[in-house]
Structure 1
Amino acid sequence: MKKLLTLFFLCLSFNLFARQTIPFTLAGSGHIIIKATVEGVEGNFIFDTGAGLNLLFDKFAKKLPPRQSYNFFTGHRATGEPLNIPIYHSDKLKIGNAEFKNQVYTTFALDIPGIDGLISLQAFQHTALTIDYDKKEISIGQLSAADKKKYIDIAVADYAGRSLDIFTDVKVNDSITVQVMLDAGAGQKSFWLSDRFMNTLGLEKTAFKVIDKKSEFDSTKVTKIYNGTIVRIATENGLSKVEHPPVFFVEGLIYEGKTSIEWLGRKIAISIPDKKIYIIR
């Protein structure tokens, strides 16, 4: 009997911590698209480390059992634009074979063909999430000692359980260190920096292309952007770097910077419990 109980708990432990693999589609824009089900309804979602919380587009949300909520959250886009959004909780979010209970989500009247919403990092607060760009797979679960040899530190911003983002420090032109939000939802080769750093870096605004960008959410909101290239951007410890990256210097950016994540490595693992991103390959 004792042997049977030991075997049972070993099997239970394996099921709890075994890695689960989920295929994804990598769009030409660099966005990671995964399948997930909310309350049993399947959809296609962009995996977005910069979303803060899960977002269901209205068209998809209407397929779910009707919900009422008096709770709300005021989020901000990177340009400072406020978004007042309702807060709901799903009974069950399923990604691959992994199930997550009582997940925070909001809804918004946005329409992107073939996409039903955004999946944020909130479901993965207590486990490592590995992204393999070559195999086009996301894995959920424990990492090996070999996986943890190289890493960068991250800071985690948890807004009272309603929204969650991650940040890291980067070196710009080998001269200044800035904190950037890591945003998988930006696609690929996306590097935004506050226009405040242009003087610090000795850059002339006249040498950059000026873009007046209207908001997709509020047509009266226009952001001035300076588009060009810089010499280099690198993680603070030099593990990952990009030479002559295209950069947007953005007026009114509420962060020091914001970048996509694919430049960190071809295979990376985000561990919120460890406050690290492991650079596996």
Structure 2
Amino acid sequence: MRPCLLAMLCACIFLSSAKAHDPRTEIPFQVMESGHILVKATVSGVEGNFIFDTGAGITVFTKAFFDKLKNTQREDGGYTGFRATGERLDIDLYRVRDVSFGPMKKAEAEVSFLDANLGGIDGIIAVKLLEDQPFTIDFTQNVLRFENKQTLASIRKSAKVVPLQLEQSRNHSLTLFAYFQVNDSLRLQCSLDSGAGKDVFRLNAKYLGRLHVDVSDTTQVRKIERKSEFNENFKSSIYITQLRNLSVDGEPSIQTGPFRVQLVEGLIYDGIMWISWLGRKITFDLGAPALLVRN
């Protein structure tokens, strides 16, 4: 074989190896029809199906799954949190043993549970479980991939970098935010929420006026009332319409629109949004903190 061909072959082998991913660092997931990311995890030897939710502050199991676990320990203190709609949740906190989430093994983790039927889903895994572990949601391969310093450095060479803001609550809860431009007129800080559902964009209804949404125009705006899944007495008023465009603040090439939006009365944030529109590969480096977005 001629030297130049040998060199080219070696180069190709090297590049292929460099791009290959170690399956031991990956967690396969299923994208449900609703758009939610469904993953498997094992707690105290019991395997379950969970929604991986970057918008959930705390990992929460169903009571049916929690009751299967051994060696759980209730903490003396509890936690009061609020759903994005403003609904108050007062929950007890527990320590569970032997959590396995793909390659991640933890001797214990803090969780709660709710007495709710999620249709065969055993609960929600919050991003706090991975606060010290950079990871990529890869929608091209449908895997959640754990990253390290070397792979992060490689990803940064071609990725668009989106600064993140982290909201830590008493070391129990973690929520992620970034800034976005809405209709080229509003700069809003929104929660990044893979658990919101497919193509779900919610903004605070207090911005109706600044977005020039006329709620009396029923040809363009539809109003609905939505009950909570946990408290039938709690209702949210929602205005559904279409806005012109949405883009990442400082990275206007990451954009979508026109897009359907829900403007929610009483929302506790500027907005919350599903994340798939950002890119096909989204890396969370919470140590930076930043999103690294690739298509």
Q: Same fold (TM over 0.5)?
A: yes
Contact 2:137 2:144 in 1 (8 A): yes
1:104 aligns with 2:114: no
Contact 2:73 2:96 in 1 (8 A): no
**Match for residue 226 of structure 1?**
239
Pick which of 89-98 and 153-162 moved more: 89-98
2:266 alignment partner AA: G
Contact 1:50 1:165 in 2 (8 A): yes
Report the TM-score, using the length of structure 1 for normalisation. Answer: 0.91
Contact 2:24 2:103 in 1 (8 A): no
Q: Number of residues paired by the alignment?
A: 265
Pick which of 247-256 and 60-69 moved more: 60-69
Task: Tell me the alpha carbon deviations over residues 23-66 of structure 1, each in whole angstroms, 9 at most, x when there is no partner.
Answer: 01110111100000011110000000111011010000000015
Separation of aligned partners in 2, 1:195 and 1:144: 38
**Match for residue 169 of structure 1?**
179
Aligned runs of 1:140-219 on 2, under 5 Å?
140-142=146-148, 143-148=151-156, 149-207=159-217, 208-219=221-232
1:60 aligns with 2:65: yes
Unaligned runs of 5+ in 2: 1-21
Larger radius of gyration: 2
Separation of aligned partners in 1, 2:233 and 2:197: 25
Give the deviation of 1:104 after TM superposition.
Answer: 1.3
Aligned runs of 1:252-263 on 2, under 5 Å?
252-263=266-277
Contact 2:203 2:261 in 1 (8 A): yes
Contact 2:188 2:271 in 1 (8 A): yes
Task: Tell me the alpha carbon deviations over residues 6-37 of structure 1, each in whole angstroms, 9 at most, x when there is no partner.
Answer: xxxxxxxxxxx997111011101111000000
Aligned runs of 1:49-88 on 2, under 5 Å?
49-65=54-70, 66-88=72-94
2:88 alignment partner AA: P
Cα distance 1:115–1:202, how it changes in 2: closer, same or farther (>3 A)? same
Contact 1:227 1:248 in 2 (8 A): yes
Give the SS at the match of 2:252: coil
Separation of aligned partners in 1, 2:136 and 2:226: 34
- Alignment RMSD (CA, Å): 1.6
Contact 1:19 1:139 in 2 (8 A): no
Contact 2:74 2:95 in 1 (8 A): no
Contact 1:100 1:123 in 2 (8 A): no
Task: Tell me the alpha carbon deviations over residues 103-123 of structure 1, each in whole angstroms, 9 at most, x when there is no partner.
Answer: 110010111122000001112
Contact 1:133 1:267 in 2 (8 A): yes
2:165 alignment partner AA: A
1:22 aligns with 2:27: yes
Task: Tell me the alpha carbon deviations over residues 173-214 of structure 1, each in whole angstroms, 9 at most, x when there is no partner.
Answer: 011100000111112201000011111122211231000111
Give the SS at the match of 1:263: helix
Report the TM-score, using the length of structure 2 for normalisation. Answer: 0.86
Separation of aligned partners in 1, 2:227 and 2:167: 28
Separation of aligned partners in 1, 2:198 and 2:214: 26
Instruction: Using the aligned pairs only, state the percent identity.
Output: 33
Task: Tell me the alpha carbon deviations over residues 120-142 of structure 1, each in whole angstroms, 9 at most, x when there is no partner.
Answer: 11121112110111210010121
Unaligned runs of 5+ in 1: 1-16
Pick which of 199-208 and 162-171 moved more: 199-208
